[in-house]
Chain A
C-alpha cells in the first residue's frame, strides 16, 4: 500500500477527508443561502431566476457544482465506512450506559442527523434540481437574456404546500444540530485547535449553525405565509 492510500485509509486520514469535505459543504451552504436570499426580493422572482440561469450556465460554477456532488458523496461514503468500523469496535454494548455530562446530544447522534440531512438533500434535489434539469419548468422572458427557466414558480408552488413547508423547516432543525457539532469537529480533526482561537471557532460555529438554518427556514415560511400562490 502506498503511503498516500495508507494515510487516507487510516482512522485519522478518513476523518481528515470527512472534515475537508465537511468544510466544502459548509462553504457551499454560505453560497447557497446567500443566493437564495433573492427569493425575498419583491420583483416577482426576476433576480432569483436570473441568478439561477447564471448558476446553471456558467462553466466555472458547473465545475464547482460537480465538485460539490463529489464532496457530498465522499462525505457520506467515508462516514458510512467510519460508522461501520465504529460498530465493529464495540461488538458487545453496555447494559447500562449513561451519557457523560457536557457531551452534546448532537455529537453523539451525528449518524442519525447526517442520515436525515441526506434524505432531505435527496428530496430537495429531486424537487428543484431535477425539475430544473429534466422537469417541465415554464420559461420566462426578461428581454435581455432571452427565455430562461422560471424556477421561481416551482419554488412558489412547492412552498404553497403546507407539508413540504413544514418538512423543510423541521429538516433545518436537523441541519442546525448536525452543524452544531460538525463545524467545530472539522477544525478539531484538522488539528486546528489553539487556546486563542478555539473559543472563537466554537462561537462562530454555534452562530453559523443557528443563523444559516434559520435563514433557510425563513424562505419557505415567507413564501407560505406571504407569497402563497393560493392566496
Chain B
C-alpha cells in the first residue's frame, strides 16, 4: 500500500516545529505502525537525514511508551490498542496519515514525537506506592482478598502510564491515570494503610504539574489502550473528598 505521512518534526523543546510530508511506497499491510515508522527511518538514514524520533520499548502493548497521536486520535483508530499493536491493515491504500506528539503543558515535546512524561513519575513518587513495612513473605491465603476486589485492583493496575488519557482529554486532564493508580492501591489491604495520604498527595502533585480538570467527557476511557473504566475516576473523587475531610493533614 502507498501512503502519505504528515509527521510532526521538532528539533528540540525550543524549536517551533512543523509537519513534514513523506510519501511511503509499498508498505506491507501486515506491519505494525511502528514497523512502518522504522521503514521511514531506515530510508531517512540512507538519505543522510535525521530519523524521526519516537519512543518505543516492548512493542507488545505493555510498556506504554509508544505515544503517538495518529489521525486525530491517541494510538490511532483501533480500540484498546497501543501504537505498537496498531496494524497497517487498518489503513487504506492512498491514505493520508497525520502523526503528532501528545499535546499537554505537562508533557513538553522533547524532540519530534517524543514528549517528557516525567510528570507521571512525579505523581507516583508523591504517593503511588506502599511504604509500610509488610514484614516477611506471608502465605498467600494469610491476606484474604476477595476475587472481585482482586479483579478490580488488577483492572486498575493494567494502566501502562502511556498518557493517552491526557492526550485524548479536551482539557489535558490526567484524572484517569491518577485514579487508576489511586484505586489500585486503595482496593488492596497493603495499600489501605496510606490511602488517605496517598490520594491527597497524588492529586496535589497532579494539579501542580499543570494538568487540566476532568469534565467527564469520558474520551480518556474510550482511547485508553487498556480501557480503564470511568469507575476509577468516581472512586478517586470519593477517596479524595473523604480523605480531605477525615485525614489528620491540616
Contact = CB atoms under 8 A, between A and B. Distances in A.
A102 B222 contact: yes
A83 to B, nearest CB: 9
Interface stretch (A65-73, A84-92, A143-151, A159-167): A84-92
B250 interface: yes
A115 B173 CA distance: 22
B20 to A, nearest CB: 13
A88 B212 CA distance: 8
Contacts of B168: 100
Given A95-B100, A193-B230, A193-B231, A107 B216 contact: yes
Contacts of B233: 188
Interface centre among A82, A90, A192, A195 (most CB of B within 10 A): A90
B172 interface: yes
Nearest to B241: A16
A155 interface: no
Given A11-B203, A98-B71, A189-B237, A86 B213 contact: yes
B206 A11 contact: yes
A58 interface: no
B218 A89 contact: no
- Which range contains the number of B residues in contact with the other chain? 35 or more
A7 B249 CA distance: 11
B236 interface: yes
Contacts of A100: 73, 168, 219, 222-223
Contacts of A185: 215-216
A59 interface: no
Contacts of A15: 213-214, 237
Contacts of A86: 170-173, 212-213, 215
Interface residues of A, number: 44
A82 B213 contact: yes
Contacts of A110: 215
Contact of A89 (B105, B231, B249): B105
B104 A89 contact: yes
Nearest to B232: A193
B145 interface: no
A108 B105 CA distance: 20
A89 B219 contact: no
Contact of B235 (A94, A101, A191): A191
Interface in A1-25: 2-3, 6-7, 10-16
Contacts of A192: 234
B217 interface: yes
A92 B168 CA distance: 14
Nearest to A101: B222
B122 to A, nearest CB: 16
A38 B219 CA distance: 42
A89 B210 contact: yes
Given A11-B203, A107-B215, A107-B216, A88 B223 contact: no
Nearest to B217: A107
Interface in B39-76: 69, 71-73
Contact of A14 (B213, B222, B223): B213
B244 interface: yes
A82 B175 CA distance: 14
B120 interface: no
Nearest to B249: A3
Interface in B166-199: 168, 170-173, 175
Contact of A181 (B19, B69, B216): B216
B216 A7 contact: no
Nearest to B99: A96
Contacts of B173: 11, 86, 89
Interface of B: 8, 19, 69, 71-73, 98, 100, 103-106, 168, 170-173, 175, 203-204, 206-207, 210-219, 222-223, 230-231, 233-241, 244-245, 249-250
Interface of A: 2-3, 6-7, 10-16, 82, 85-86, 88-104, 107-108, 110, 181, 184-185, 188-193, 195
11 contacts: A2-B250, A3-B250, A6-B244, A10-B240, A85-B212, A86-B173, A88-B212, A104-B217, A185-B215, A188-B234, A190-B237
Given A11-B213, A95-B100, 7 more contacts: A3-B244, A11-B173, A12-B236, A14-B213, A86-B170, A90-B104, A96-B98
Q: Which 4 A-B pairs have the closest CB atoms?
A: A98-B72, A191-B238, A89-B212, A193-B234
